[in-house]
């Protein structure tokens, strides 16, 4: 048995570890489908409830529909992010990871990529349902781009706060309490840009909001990378 | 120059709020030396092992692994240490083999699959390697956890009650895991309530009571009865004094 070591210092490859961490999360999810199933059921149920509750007329549709879509995405996503660390918590496995010679940013990045994959899959199902319920043209490239931009900000912060919340006793309650106030700029930018596009206005009208989303995505991803180290220090 | 100890704790104190779990503990474990950590529940054994493993920071004091400070040694030190704790650190929905291949990749082992199979064979779990961990008994999970701790052939093994759930045969084989791939003995710190297991596997013992070292010494010349008497005497003395025994050097 040998290790991938150089002369004097260990050379454990970041990409290999990132790949292993991502494979582990996706393999477990593919077998259990715990997170995806919960997100899809909750998201579709939210849209169904909103559909019957609002009975929207054409003139009010564009005002309310973007908010409805994002509330469904946020509800489903928060549920998924809350489950992202359940496997690590239940069997003390995150401590097992902390015992490995791994850069904590690799653990964060793998969780973020897994969360982005779950959210993207949920959104891929929710968008056609939203389209069918509300009769708006949501399946257009601009809306998809805005949703992806909003999702990056959502998942980057949610991945950090998920790790913090799961260490508390009231973890199911704690995650939305921590997460939603920080996400306000991303939610506003996403809802506004989605509304403009659903109203049939040109993509150029969304620039203010899209720029806001891009700025907050960059800030949130960078801050999350920096913060994650400290979050893991407190684990256990 | 003398070789640095495999693990060294100097004046390690750990407080959880108002309660002190460890109070100025000094322990040095030489390379290849095996030390048993005895003590009743709540005496600080697990906390001590977690601090040596780098999972918990001491409130005061210093920990060195092979002469290096954990805070500065970082990832290089993790390659030197293998740990089994109260949790198996395994994923229920992955098979035993998948768990070990995953951890082998995390440790940068060159042939993860081959190494996983080798350690599974060493702990007698090769036949069940394709079973999900969820479906394994507590003892089998403990065997896989021991295999995980040995994957990267560490110089220092930290074992917290390693015989938990193991049948007699598996517990009897524990001694085989304390030798490295190159035939050198590993340094071991093993917390256990089983005095006879400690006597069989270790060369020295440290007895913790109330977070302090109450007694310690060589196992040479001790039999199980003498060790039980020493344990009882230290516990009685601490009880008589109404406080834990004085800080000691081990």
**What residues does each domain of chain A span?**
14-233
Residues of B in contact with A4 (CB under 8 A): 108-110
A-chain residues within 8 Å CB-CB of B92? 87, 90-91
- Burial class of residue A21 (count of CB atoms within 10 Å of its CB; 0-12, 13-18, 19+): buried
Per-residue tokens: A236: 């256990």
CA-based radius of gyration for chain A: 19
**A100 contact residues in B (CB cutoff 8 A):** 78, 103, 106-107
Neighbours of B27 (CB within 10 A): 24
CB-nearest to B93 from A5, A28, A97 is A28
Mutation for testing the A interface, residue in B86, B100, B107 having most A CBs under 10 Å: B107
CB–CB of A139/A131 below 8 Å? Answer: yes
| 8-state DSSP, B210 | T
Which pLDDT score, from 0 to 100, does residue A234 have? 61
Residues (pLDDT < 50) of chain B are 245-250
pLDDT in tens, B2-33: 789 999 999 999 999 999 999 999 999 999 99
Query: Does the distance separating the beta carbons of A91 and B87 come in below 8 Å?
Result: yes
User: How much is the pLDDT for A9?
Assistant: 43
Residue of A nearest to B115 (CA): A1
Q: Terminus-to-terminus CA distance in chain B, angstroms?
A: 22
With tokens 């009650």, the residue in question is B161
Q: Which residue of B has its CA nearest to A5?
A: B108
3-state secondary structure of B78: helix
Whether the CB-CB separation of B12 and B25 falls below 8 Å is answered with yes
Which runs of consecutive H residues, i.e. helices, occur in A33-138?
34-54, 58-83, 86-90, 93-98, 104-134
Return the exposure string of B85-116: e unless at least 16 CB atoms fall within 10 Å of the residue's CB, then b: bebbbbbbbbbbbbbbbbbbbbbbbeebeebb
- Each of the 236 residues of chain A gets a pLDDT tens digit; together they read 555 544 444 445 789 999 999 999 999 999 999 899 999 999 999 999 988 887 766 667 778 899 999 999 999 999 999 888 888 877 788 899 999 999 899 999 999 999 999 999 999 999 999 999 988 888 899 999 999 999 999 999 999 999 988 888 887 788 899 999 999 999 999 999 999 999 999 999 999 999 999 999 999 999 999 999 888 876 65
- Reduced to 3 states (helix: H, G, I; strand: E, B; else coil), residue B30 is coil
The answer to whether A7 contacts chain B (CB < 8 Å) is no
The domain covering B1-80+154-250 belongs, at the CATH homologous superfamily level, to P-loop containing nucleotide triphosphate hydrolases (3.40.50.300)
Return the H-helix or E-strand segment holding B37: strand B34-38
- Give Cβ neighbours of residue B220 (< 8 Å, ≥ 6 apart): B203
The 3 state secondary structure assigned to B150-193 is HCCCCCEEEEECCCCCCCHHHHHCHHHHHECCCCCECEEEEECC
What is the model's pLDDT at position B242? Answer: 54
- Does residue B73 contact residue B106 with C-beta atoms inside 8 Å? no
- Name the token pair of A6: 């150089």
Instruction: Give the closest-approach CA distance of A231 to chain B in angstroms.
Output: 13
Closest partner residue to A93 (CB to CB) among B86, B91, B153 is B91
Tell me which of A6, A8, A10 to substitute to probe the interface with B (most B C-beta atoms closer than 10 Å).
A10
A147 is written with which tokens?
A: 């949703």
Residue carrying structure tokens 């093994």: B157
Nearest by Cα to A112 from A234, A231, A224: A224
Helix (H, G, I), strand (E, B) or coil at B125: coil
Provide the β-strand partners of residue A126: none
Q: Does A59 touch chain B (CB under 8 A)?
A: no
SS3 B177: helix
The shortest CB-CB distance from A1 to any of B74, B105, B181 is to: B181
Q: Are B105 and A18 in contact (CB under 8 A)?
A: no
- Residue span(s) of chain B under CATH 3.40.50.300 come to 1-80+154-250
- Put simply, the answer to whether A1 touches B111 (Cβ < 8 Å) is yes
List Cα–Cα distances, A99 to A63, A233, B207, in angstroms. 51, 12, 26
Tokens 């496997």, residue? A87
* B80, two tokens: 């030197």
Any chain B CB within 8 A of the CB of A15? no
Name residues whose C-beta falls within 8 Å of residue A91's C-beta, 6 or more positions apart in sequence: B87, B88, B89, B90, B91, B92
Q: CA B52, CA B173: separation in Å to the nearest integer?
A: 25
> Residue A172's pLDDT is what?
78
- Give one DSSP letter per residue of A121-174, joined into a string: HHHHHHHHHHHHHH-----SHHHHHHHHHHHHHHHHHHHHHHHHHTTSTTHHHH
Residue B101 is encoded by which pair of tokens? 């291949």
Distances (CA, A) of B203 to B115, B185, B188, B190, B206: 29, 12, 10, 11, 11
Alpha-carbon distance A157 to nearest alpha carbon in chain B (angstroms): 25
CA distance A129 to B83: 49
CA angle A83, A89, A92 (to 5 degrees): 155
| DSSP letter assigned to residue A201 | -
Report ipTM for this prediction.
0.88
Residue pair B73/B65 in contact (Cβ under 8 Å)? The answer is: yes
Q: Would you state the pLDDT for residue B51?
A: 94
């Amino acid at each position: 048995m040998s290790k991938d070591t150089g002369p004097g210092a260990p050379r454990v490859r970041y990409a290999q570890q990132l790949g292993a961490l991502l494979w582990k999360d996706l393999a477990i999810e593919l077998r259990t489908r715990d997170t995806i199933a919960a997100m899809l059921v909750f998201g579709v149920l939210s849209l169904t409830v909103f559909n019957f509750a609002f009975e929207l007329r054409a003139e009010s549709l564009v005002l309310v529909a973007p908010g409805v879509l994002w509330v469904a995405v946020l509800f489903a996503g928060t549920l998924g992010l809350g489950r992202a660390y359940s496997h690590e918590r239940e069997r003390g496995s995150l401590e097992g990871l902390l015992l490995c010679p791994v850069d904590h940013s690799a653990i964060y990045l793998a969780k973020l990529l897994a969360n982005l994959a779950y959210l993207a899959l949920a959104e891929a199902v929710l968008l056609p349902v939203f389209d069918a319920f509300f009769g708006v043209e949501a399946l257009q490239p601009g809306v998809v781009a805005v949703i992806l931009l909003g999702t990056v900000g959502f998942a980057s912060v949610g991945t950090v706060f998920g790790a913090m919340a799961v260490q508390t006793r009231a973890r199911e309650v704690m995650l939305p309490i921590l997460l939603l106030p920080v996400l306000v700029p991303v939610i506003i930018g996403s809802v506004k840009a989605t509304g403009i596009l659903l109203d049939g206005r040109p993509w150029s009208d969304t620039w203010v909001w899209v720029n806001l989303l891009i700025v907050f995505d960059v800030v949130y991803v960078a801050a999350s990378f920096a913060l994650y180290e400290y979050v893991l220090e407190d684990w256990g | 120059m003398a070789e640095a100890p495999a693990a060294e704790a100097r004046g390690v104190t750990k407080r959880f709020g108002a309660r002190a779990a460890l109070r100025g503990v000094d322990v040095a474990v030489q390379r290849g030396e095996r030390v048993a950590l005895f003590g009743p529940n709540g005496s600080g054994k697990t906390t001590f092992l977690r601090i040596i493993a780098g999972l918990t920071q001491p409130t005061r004091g210093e920990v060195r692994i092979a002469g290096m400070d954990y805070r500065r040694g970082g990832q290089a030190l993790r390659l030197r240490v293998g740990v089994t704790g109260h949790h198996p650190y395994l994923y229920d929905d992955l098979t035993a083999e998948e768990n070990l291949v995953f951890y082998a990749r995390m440790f940068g082992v060159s042939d993860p699959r081959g190494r996983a199979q080798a350690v599974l064979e060493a702990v007698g779990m090769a036949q069940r390697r394709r079973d999900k961990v969820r479906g394994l008994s507590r003892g089998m999970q403990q065997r896989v956890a021991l295999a995980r701790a040995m994957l990267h052939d560490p110089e220092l093994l930290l074992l917290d009650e390693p015989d938990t759930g193991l049948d007699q045969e598996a517990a009897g084989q524990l001694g085989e895991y304390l030798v490295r791939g190159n035939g050198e003995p590993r340094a071991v710190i093993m917390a256990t309530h089983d005095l006879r297991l400690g006597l069989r596997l270790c060369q020295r013992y440290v007895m913790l009571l109330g977070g302090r070292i109450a007694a310690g010494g060589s196992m040479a010349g001790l039999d199980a009865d003498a060790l039980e008497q020493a344990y009882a005497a230290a516990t009685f003395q601490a009880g008589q004094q109404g406080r834990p025994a004085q800080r000691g050097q081990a």
